[in-house]
């Protein structure tokens, strides 16, 4: 059955198609109570209202780190954002996170946020090198692969973008890897700051190069006999 035929049947409320691919209800309320949602093609306004009224919540709060202000946020029982409060960065990443999770930001705190802040405080104090906060990724399959690999880079070490591409078994995707690295929304916990240029230059960073340098210097100071770059 072609999509055009389905749309026509829905718009004409042709009940001969009942149970073939949809069910008719007398009212929208009846359908919603049963667990259905409005069709986003033929009931655009209703779908828009439904989506807005049924969005979940992402709790967010500000965190002042020694190297820059950050936004820390949780979705359910997972950390979904720990990113730099840089205005030019916010729109694209915030929009992607909220769309991916079908959730909207709400200022406040949560158990996960409190745990994350405690671990960040310990990290910046120099006595936490490994995090155990559960995270949820909000990106494409490729981005999530890159971010997952970032979490395997040990504290106090750095690798190049080329090496990161090789580790995900896609050695030609250096630029794509760099792009995924740049759009990582869970900084520090997903340590994109540990990736540098093949020429050992720091290159770009969402929180700015001063923040990246500060993080690497912190880790170097707590790692005996290790040159980071």
Q: What is the pLDDT of residues 101-151, one digit of tens each?
A: 989 999 999 999 999 999 999 999 999 999 999 999 999 999 999 999 999
Q: How many residues does the chain have?
A: 229
What are the tokens at 37? Answer: 């949602």
Q: How far apart are the first and last CA of the chain?
A: 59
Distance, CA of 65 to CA of 67 (rounded, Å):
5
Active-site residue, 80 included = no
Q: Which of 42, 80, 144, 192 is catalytic?
A: 192
| Residue 87, both tokens | 């205005």
For 56-221, CATH gives: 1.10.10.10
Q: Of 72, 219, 170, nearest to 179 (Cα)?
A: 170
- Phi, psi for residue 25 in degrees, rounded to 5: -125, 155
Give me the residue spans of the domains in the chain.
56-221
pLDDT at 229: 41
* pLDDT tens digit sequence for 49-94: 766 677 789 999 999 999 999 999 999 999 999 999 988 889 999 9
């Amino acid at each position: 059955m072609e999509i055009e035929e389905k749309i026509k049947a829905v718009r004409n409320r042709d009940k001969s198609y009942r149970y073939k691919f949809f069910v008719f209800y007398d009212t929208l309320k009846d359908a919603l109570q049963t667990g259905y949602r409005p069709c986003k093609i033929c009931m655009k306004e209703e779908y828009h209202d439904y989506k807005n009224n049924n969005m979940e919540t992402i709790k967010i709060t500000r965190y002042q780190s020694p190297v820059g202000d950050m936004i820390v946020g949780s979705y359910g029982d997972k950390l979904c954002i720990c990113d730099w409060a840089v205005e030019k960065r916010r729109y694209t990443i915030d929009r992607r996170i909220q769309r991916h999770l079908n959730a909207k930001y709400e200022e406040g705190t949560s158990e996960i946020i409190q745990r994350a802040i405690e671990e960040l405080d310990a990290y910046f104090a120099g006595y936490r090198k490994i995090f155990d906060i559960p995270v949820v990724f909000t990106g494409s399959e490729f981005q999530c692969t890159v971010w997952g690999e970032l979490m395997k880079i040990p504290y106090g070490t750095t690798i190049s973008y080329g090496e990161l591409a090789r580790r995900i078994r896609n050695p030609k995707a250096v630029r794509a890897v760099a792009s995924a690295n740049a759009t990582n929304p869970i900084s520090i916990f997903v340590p994109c700051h540990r990736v540098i240029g093949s020429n050992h230059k720091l290159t770009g960073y969402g929180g700015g190069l001063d923040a990246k340098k500060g993080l690497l210097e912190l880790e170097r100071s707590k790692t005996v006999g290790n040159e980071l770059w």
